[in-house]
A and B are shown apart, each in its own frame.
Chain A
Amino acid sequence: QTVVTQEPSLTVSPGGTVTLTCASSTGPVTSAFYPNWFQRRPGQAPTALIYSTSNKHSWTPARFSGSLLGGKAALTLSPVQPEDEAEYYCLLYFGSSNWVFGGGTTLTVL
């Protein structure tokens, strides 16, 4: 079974920089996995942030960016704002219409 792994939790100070990563159990993540990133606050529906590795939606704040880093997909926030405290999920494509979410990263801004 394919597993997508994210850091369970990260803590960052306001104004700082944090990078969340997304790894695949099948090997290095490439652009062919079409990495997508989402933010979810408690009690709300997810909000799309990044698609196809590094593309932003029209509503995505400029401080969010996506990339490939060391064989993983990565989401970088800089500078971090207090309202960025949330859960973040990556989503990877494994072919044959099989998409798999990562387990999510809880980001604390402290």
Chain B
Amino acid sequence: EVQLVQSGAEGKKPGESLRISCQGSGYDFSTYWIGWVRLMPGKGLEYMGRVDPRDSYNNYSPSFRGHVSISSDRAINTAYIQWSNLEASDSAIYFCVRMSCSTTNCFFDYWGQGTLVTVSS
């Protein structure tokens, strides 16, 4: 059974750093990208970026480039998203999602359960 299991809820202060994780199981972790999606309170889903666990190549949505860093460690089937300087506006639920693209198809299929991040002084 394919599963993406994310790390638990976090409470942080503005200016602090944070890394949350997403561990995949039930499939070859290296053969699918992992994307990250933000859900802010009362808002819709936002695509943030993705990482290819084969080589850790990442890219970002223009809205998030420079504010977060996405990485992976294929030895432990885990992807990460991290912030070095949290702001209150980073308070949201963050989801990881398995994704794959070829020349004919692109899909996002399995999702993590979500990680609630609260940033408050």
Binding site for B on A (CB under 8 A): 34, 36, 38, 40, 45-48, 51-52, 55, 57, 89, 91, 93, 96-104
Contacts and interface: CB of A to CB of B under 8 A. Distances in A.
Contact of B46 (A38, A40, A47, A101): A101
Interface residues of B, number: 26
A45 B45 CA distance: 11
Given A36-B106, A96-B59, A99-B61, 18 more contacts: A36-B107, A38-B45, A40-B45, A45-B111, A45-B113, A46-B95, A48-B107, A48-B108, A51-B106, A51-B107, A52-B107, A55-B105, A57-B109, A89-B44, A89-B45, A91-B47, A97-B49, A97-B59
Contacts of A40: 45
Interface string B15-53: 000000000000000000001010000001111011000
Contacts, number: 66
Contact of A52 (B47, B50, B97, B105): B105
A45 B109 contact: no
B18 to A, nearest CB: 20
Interface of A is mostly: strand
Contacts of A52: 104-107
Contact of A45 (B49, B61, B114): B114
Q: Dominant SS at the B interface?
A: strand
A61 B102 CA distance: 25
Given A45-B95, A52-B105, A52-B107, A104 B113 contact: no
Contacts of B60: 97
4 smallest A-B Cβ distances: which pairs? A51-B107, A34-B106, A97-B59, A99-B47
Contact of A46 (B45, B46, B59, B101): B45
Nearest to A104: B44
B111 A51 contact: no
A34 B101 contact: yes
A91 B97 CA distance: 13
B56 to A, nearest CB: 15
Nearest to A51: B107
